[in-house]
């Protein structure tokens, strides 16, 4: 159990390899941060390259008479939910909906913070997101297309507030037909 400042201590573990997981009601673990590499380096098949061993992301190893410091992260379970549909109201499956943070100048970042994908019913979830303001869009990365749909930003690019531990419902998109590659 962590204290009020998020510090924790686990005593009495036997020597061996462990996965540490973190949980709290209303929050989601930051899997990218928590499962980051912390182990040995290995030789890569590429010449003169050494990189992290990737067989067990987030794994720690306990040695006799030693301790290991491991920071873990969590995000409030805020986010966006809605549906992606055609102008006639029929659902569109498999569309990536992206949430973008704002930079220090209040402009949309070039790459998404999180992405959700619409299901068979057209519904999507983009979560977890930290409390703050985000721009929601489809195919909205600044330097690459992720789908054949025209770049579409919800509400003209207005930043929407994400509340801590709650999702905003009804962020819906009506998309025209996808673009077709020129021959």
- CA 134 to chain CA centroid, Å, is 13
- pLDDT for 29-66, tens place per residue? 877 777 766 555 556 566 666 555 556 667 777 888 87
Count: domains in the chain: 2
Query: Do 44 and 115 lie in a common domain?
Result: no
pLDDT at 52: 56
Residue 98 lies in a domain: yes
pLDDT at 73: 81
DSSP state of 154: G
pLDDT at 56: 66
Nearest Cα residue to 174 out of 155, 147, 146: 155
Domain boundary residue among 38, 59, 74?
74
Query: Could you tell me if residue 170 is left (phi over 0), alpha (psi between -120 and 50 degrees) or otherwise beta?
Result: left
Domain that holds residue 48: 16-74
Q: How confident is the model at residue 150 (pLDDT cuts 50, 70, 90)?
A: confident
Backbone φ, ψ for residue 162 (5° rounding):
-105, 125
- Cα–Cα distance measured from residue 12 to residue 6, given in angstroms and rounded to the nearest whole number: 20
- pLDDT for 80-139, tens place per residue? 999 999 999 999 999 999 999 998 898 899 999 889 999 999 999 998 887 788 999 999
- pLDDT for 59-83, tens place per residue? 777 888 877 777 888 877 788 999 9
Reduced to 3 states (helix: H, G, I; strand: E, B; else coil), residue 158 is coil
Residue 55 lies in a domain: yes
DSSP state of 163: P
Query: Do 110 and 157 lie in a common domain?
Result: yes
């Amino acid at each position: 159990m962590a204290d009020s400042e998020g510090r924790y201590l686990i005593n009495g573990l036997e020597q061996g390899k462990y996965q540490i997981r973190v949980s709290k009601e209303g929050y989601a673990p930051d899997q990218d941060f928590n499962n980051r590499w912390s182990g040995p380096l290995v030789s890569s098949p590429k010449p003169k390259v050494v990189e992290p061993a990737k067989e067990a992301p987030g794994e720690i190893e306990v040695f006799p008479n030693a301790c290991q410091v491991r920071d873990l992260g969590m995000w409030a379970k805020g986010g966006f939910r809605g549906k992606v549909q055609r102008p006639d109201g029929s659902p569109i499956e498999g569309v990536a909906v992206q949430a973008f943070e704002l930079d220090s100048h209040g402009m949309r970042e070039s790459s998404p913070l999180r992405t959700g994908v619409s299901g068979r019913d057209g519904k999507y979830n983009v979560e977890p997101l930290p409390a703050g303001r985000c721009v929601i869009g489809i195919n909205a990365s600044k330097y690459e297309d992720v789908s054949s749909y025209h770049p579409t930003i919800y509400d003209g690019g207005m930043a929407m507030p994400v509340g801590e531990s709650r999702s905003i419902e009804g962020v819906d998109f009506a998309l025209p037909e996808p673009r077709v590659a020129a021959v």
